[in-house]
Structure 1
């Protein structure tokens, strides 16, 4: 068999299909108006999008990113808002990292913010929030050997730490506050919902956290991802029913494709590595529909159209986080130096 001719034939057959797929996904760069490192992103609708970042900065657009209104929250000029959850054009919750750990809420479009949660415990570092309706959870790095977990049932107005059932951490295990997406609801309603939390560092694991705070020792899985250093491990988790995707890698080696993606098609019982992984370290992953997913990192954006088993690049522009409008078809991205991207999600 002449392998060179076979490969050439396959290229002729497959390349046009790949190019056609790539052309469906066009990312345009919006003018945010400010050079801020952005890791928080939330889009309640196609028109309304919020971002948050360092130096106490939050921005909001109500016209699909044509114009952004910026707010620097008083008293938080030296703080970093690593995650944001927006419910509409007026109401949003932001999370400030490091000590003291704090969560703030606005009901007037960002003009005024109220502190709704504070914890000054030494070593507190909040990593991510996840909401489904008015129910939400925030997770933080281990304190005294246990991850910090708190819940809200009223849209972030009040928060209740989940003592005494916070999950135990292994030595060197922590969460990444890279995109606010290492926490994700995985199944059921309030009574049966589990929050999936992925970790990294010297140990990379998946923790399933029952919302009602019951004991979870048996609900922890070690992940076959790149791990062993403070910069390695899982960064982001997404789910479509029983289909789960995890991405990560080593953020000090943006081009490294080793151990950067895992797939489960049966609700976490088994994990597989993709045949064609994303093109480097990835900090965020998101299902677009039951078959298609998108992921981003420091060196670009990739899309999969087969449940995560094969990925192809659609952009070499780096972003920290990607989110699709909860009510709509616009996909937004946010990253370093105030970069905000926008993409229309075209299924066919």
Structure 2
């Protein structure tokens, strides 16, 4: 595997390291080599936030924050037909290791999930482009756990329940219904679930913007959708049956909810927008206090590609970066109101133990 030092660039205005007092509101690998990273440059807005360029040919949309020290990012090549990459750090982002599977040319890794020693990455796309790879040794080796055999299916997102034994993945509709893929053996094998318990969802789909259109909280799973309808679907029986309610985020051919985050099965936030030629961000946030009904009509000043809780259920951060609709915002009241904290945006963000990681285009990864 290839060990990479990171090129640190001046950190921009991203207030992700929040004050403790806050209470409201997208080839063969060379041999291993370590490179000493450039010195961290101070951020005039937040001395704790740094941004690194890991691989400028990658568009990062998959991210999981394992701990303050460890994170994984996944991407797709910005070069036509180039390889999709997976990178891992275990030293707070000072260095990153390329732990990519072999033979990933033309693939798009949009989601990564890590539970204990087991890591999974999801490649999206039609037919056989949708795949799940599994590693039990920190990415040193991978097995292909699933390759989609159905030309009509297109998998978007993946999520595991606490503990990592059971998990789900979601595909765009097949025969008029969103398709659910399930595992109960830590991702070794995957099975398509019966569609009888899925509401009609023709031309409704999950967006693979950040890998968080499918998320879990306790024993509940949630699907954030857009397209013909913009809804939040909930399952309490491991994906067999689902109930659906409107999220309040406007739907459209390239619009709707893009991602969700849940502090518990009762408290969650969904964000979205419009990936059309002229992005519209009106009413692109919704929140719930009971896990079943949603309050919408809240707007970020930028597209909402991802959202994550920083601590508890009140403090969360949302971010996005699409066609000039760029920025990062903070809520201190569980999603009811938002404050723009930066003109810098990413495709994906994840926080653990009050430390936040973010990733985006041109191989950018931030930590603070």
Q: Same fold (TM over 0.5)?
A: yes
**Is the contact between residue 146 and residue 166 of structure 1 (CA under 8 Å) also seen in structure 2?**
no
Q: Tell whether 2:131 aligns with 1:121.
A: no
How many angstroms apart in 2 are the aligned matches of 1:213 and 1:265? 22
| 1:272-291 correspondence to structure 2 within 5 Å | 272-274=296-298, 277-288=299-310, 289-291=312-314
CA displacement at 1:33 relative to structure 2: 4.1
**Is the contact between residue 64 and residue 73 of structure 2 (CA under 8 Å) also seen in structure 1?**
yes
How many angstroms apart in 2 are the aligned matches of 1:280 and 1:160? 37
How many angstroms apart in 2 are the aligned matches of 1:335 and 1:169? 33
User: Per residue, is there more strand in 1 or in 2?
Assistant: 2
The residue aligned with 1:4 is none
**Is the contact between residue 248 and residue 294 of structure 2 (CA under 8 Å) also seen in structure 1?**
no
Structure 1 residues 169 and 178: CA distance shift in structure 2, 3 A: farther
**Is the contact between residue 247 and residue 294 of structure 2 (CA under 8 Å) also seen in structure 1?**
no
The residue aligned with 1:308 is 335
**Is the contact between residue 53 and residue 362 of structure 2 (CA under 8 Å) also seen in structure 1?**
no
SS, match of residue 37 in structure 1: strand
The residue aligned with 1:292 is 315
CA displacement at 1:56 relative to structure 2: 1.9
Alignment gaps of 5+ in structure 1? 1-16, 188-192, 344-348
1:38-76 alpha-carbon deviations (Å, 9 max, x no partner): 111012111111111113211011101111111443222
| 1:137-156 correspondence to structure 2 within 5 Å | 137-156=168-187
Q: Choose which of 115, 132, 135 in structure 2 pairs with 1:87.
A: 115
Structure 1 residues 162 and 110: CA distance shift in structure 2, 3 A: same
The TM-score normalised by the length of structure 2 is 0.78
Instruction: State the superposition RMSD in angstroms.
Output: 2.4
| 1:165-314 correspondence to structure 2 within 5 Å | 165=196, 167-187=198-218, 193-216=219-242, 219-228=243-252, 230-241=253-264, 242-252=266-276, 256-274=280-298, 277-288=299-310, 289-298=312-321, 299-314=326-341
The TM-score normalised by the length of structure 1 is 0.83
SS, match of residue 187 in structure 2: coil
How many angstroms apart in 2 are the aligned matches of 1:213 and 1:237? 17
User: Per residue, is there more helix in 1 or in 2?
Assistant: 1
The residue aligned with 1:340 is 365
Structure 1 residues 194 and 87: CA distance shift in structure 2, 3 A: closer
For the pair shown, which has the larger CA radius of gyration, 1 or 2?
A: 1
Structure 1 residues 265 and 118: CA distance shift in structure 2, 3 A: same
How many angstroms apart in 2 are the aligned matches of 1:278 and 1:249? 9
**Is the contact between residue 33 and residue 68 of structure 1 (CA under 8 Å) also seen in structure 2?**
no
Q: Choose which of 71, 74, 81 in structure 2 pairs with 1:49.
A: 71
SS, match of residue 73 in structure 1: coil
Count of equivalent residues: 312
Structure 1 residues 319 and 251: CA distance shift in structure 2, 3 A: same
How many angstroms apart in 1 are the aligned matches of 2:289 and 2:249? 17
**Is the contact between residue 221 and residue 239 of structure 2 (CA under 8 Å) also seen in structure 1?**
no
The residue aligned with 1:346 is none
How many angstroms apart in 1 are the aligned matches of 2:56 and 2:46? 29
SS, match of residue 282 in structure 1: coil
1:2-24 alpha-carbon deviations (Å, 9 max, x no partner): xxxxxxxxxxxxxxx99xx9967
The residue aligned with 2:7 is none
The residue aligned with 1:109 is 138
CA displacement at 1:92 relative to structure 2: 1.0
**Is the contact between residue 249 and residue 296 of structure 2 (CA under 8 Å) also seen in structure 1?**
no
1:189-212 alpha-carbon deviations (Å, 9 max, x no partner): xxxx22110110121111112334
How many angstroms apart in 2 are the aligned matches of 1:171 and 1:232? 15
Structure 1 residues 266 and 91: CA distance shift in structure 2, 3 A: closer
CA displacement at 1:255 relative to structure 2: 6.2
Alignment gaps of 5+ in structure 2? 1-20, 26-43, 77-82
Deviating 4+ runs (over 4 angstroms): 21-26
